[in-house]
Amino acid sequence: MSFTLAIVGRPNVGKSTLFNRLVGKRLALVDDQPGVTRDLREGEARLGDLRFTVIDTAGLEEATDESLQGRMRKLTERAVDMADICLFLIDARAGVTPTDEVLADILRKRARHVILAANKSEGSAADAGVYEAYGLGLGEPVRLSAEHGEGLNDLYSQLMPVS
């Protein structure tokens, strides 16, 4: 059975890097798809023997009149509502920020299933941030490095039983 995974998190945590790693060149440009704007990128992902749709909450970096918090909340809510599973990324090198807390709250209230991942986890500089992530109350964080392709086995192990 196929499922939809939304990658959510504040700007710069590595969502698009992970999206690109999961989708590779199989990117479906969303402009052609009804109901999906350029703020949400959709692609067909592969991880081991899993095949699923992945959504990247993009477009947050563009400057608009609306506040980042407001846009991020709306976009995250839309992605959450489209998804069977949410992959919530934090930046392990930055630790847990107030914005992460806001998003964690949305996910706790709204998401069907959340997997927490501490990205940028390569090397020991990430250890403190990974530890902080436990405090979000969203379970044990998966240690990921989207850039280096590390932790994808652990991500698979968390996705497999709920897929």
Judged by the rule CB under 6 A, the positions of this chain that interact with ligand GDP are 9, 11-17, 119-120, 122, 145-148
Of 2 and 66, which has the nearer Cβ to ligand GDP? 66
Q: Which does 145 bind (CB under 5 to 8 A by kind): ligand GDP, Mg ion, none?
A: ligand GDP
Residue nearest to Mg ion as judged by C-beta position = 16
CB of 146 to Mg ion, least distance (A): 11
Of 127 and 147, which has the nearer Cβ to ligand GDP? 147
Of 2 and 138, which has the nearer Cβ to ligand GDP? 138
Which of 5, 3, 1, 7 has its CA nearest to residue 117? 7
DSSP codes, the chain: ---EEEEE-STTSSHHHHHHHHHTT-EEPGGGSTT--TTEEEEEEEETTEEEEEEEE--TTS--SS-HHHHHHHHHHHHHHH-SEEEEEEETTT---HHHHHHHHHHHHH-S-EEEEEES--SGGGHHHHHHHGGGSS-SPEE-BTTTTBSHHHHHHHHGGG-
Instruction: State the number of binding residues for Mg ion (CB under 5 A).
Output: 3
> Which residues, listed in sequence order, are joined to residue 41 by a DSSP beta bridge?
56
CB of 161 to ligand GDP, least distance (A): 24
Of 50 and 60, which has the nearer Cβ to ligand GDP? 60
Is residue 163 within the footprint of Mg ion (CB under 5 A)? Answer: no
Is residue 16 within the footprint of Mg ion (CB under 5 A)? Answer: yes
Q: Which residues are annotated as a binding site for GTP?
A: 9-16, 56-60, 119-122
Binding site for Mg ion (CB under 5 A): 15-16, 58
